[in-house]
Amino acid sequence: MGQAKASRAAAEVDAASAHWQAALGTKQAFYNVLAARETQLAAAAQLDQARQQRVDAIARTHSRAATRSDSLRAEISVRNAQLAVTQAAMDKASADAALGRAVGSLVPVTAAADSLGMVSLALDDSSLASLVEDAPSVHAARSLLDAARESRKNAWSAYLPSLTASWARAGNGTGDSPAWDPTTLDYSGSLRFGLTFPLFDQFRREQQLTQTAVAVRNAEADLRDARLAARQSLTDGLGGFREASERVASQSATVEAAGEDLRVQRERYALGGSTLLDVLTSQAALDQARRDLIRARYDQRVAKAQLEALVGRDL
């Protein structure tokens, strides 16, 4: 009974661990939708800027202040921006479909627009360190150790004697009529008790005890390793979250600086102080900075979700 209870507790812990792993996969699908939405916004901004650059390039070409190559390059930039918009729309649709599959919805679903907020942790490092000692993976290893100990106790039962009891009642008789009549039978009963105590079973009991003892030691080692692995995962997760947070702050400043640089280059181009190639270079730098910011935000969200799956609670 004790072994069965321990096995049931281990199964319940496995179910809880599976729950948090499923939650992690769903959150990643949700964050993929958020990243695809941000990519759509960035692609739309890129297209607007490319169209404005094409207008400026055509105007300068007509006024003979620039060569025809400027208008051609601006047209190529617009077409590339349109391709980026189309690709972003396809990625968004694919991410929505993956999210619907993750949540098991036959109705199309997507992430709410107001989900693009700041990401932070509700607990400090010391609180997370205390939670990780009872993480789902550690709890599962502890439950398996309890089950192994109960199995070892069960192995000792092979040394106990077994007692059996049986009761039998039978009747027999003869008669002239072919019909059966219970009153014509003579009945007798017997009660038997048996006691069995095996003295030698070719060392099967000793083998079972040795195997269960090894299983307990293995479970103890697994528990110790699970605790160490949880601590390592916490350290890596906190490091990844902080690194992604720093990248978010850095890339936000980079996007702002790249946007200002593009504005200056466009004004200089309008006045003849720079070439369209300088404008396109600034635009490419701004597009790359936006992509890096989107990636940093995605990594920050996923790092938090991984920490939540590790400790088994929302942060």
The tens-digit pLDDT sequence of the chain (315 residues) is 777 777 787 787 778 788 888 888 888 888 888 888 888 888 888 888 888 888 877 877 777 766 677 777 888 888 888 898 898 889 889 988 888 888 888 888 888 877 666 777 777 777 788 788 888 888 888 888 888 888 888 777 777 788 889 999 887 766 666 666 666 677 788 889 888 777 776 777 778 888 888 888 888 898 888 888 888 888 888 888 888 888 888 988 988 898 888 888 888 877 777 777 788 888 888 888 988 888 898 888 888 888 888 887 777
Helix 204-270 with 136-155: angle, nearest 10 deg: 170
Residue 178 lies in a domain: no
> Domain containing 139 — which CATH number?
1.20.1600.10
Residue 279 lies in a domain: yes
Residue 294 lies in a domain: yes
Residue 44 lies in a domain: yes
For 206, the domain range is 2-173+183-311
The answer to whether 247 and 253 have CB atoms below 8 angstroms apart is no
Residue 106 lies in a domain: yes
Claim: this prediction has a pTM higher than 0.85: no
Tally of domains in the chain: 1
Residue 303 lies in a domain: yes
Residue 250 lies in a domain: yes
Residue 247 lies in a domain: yes
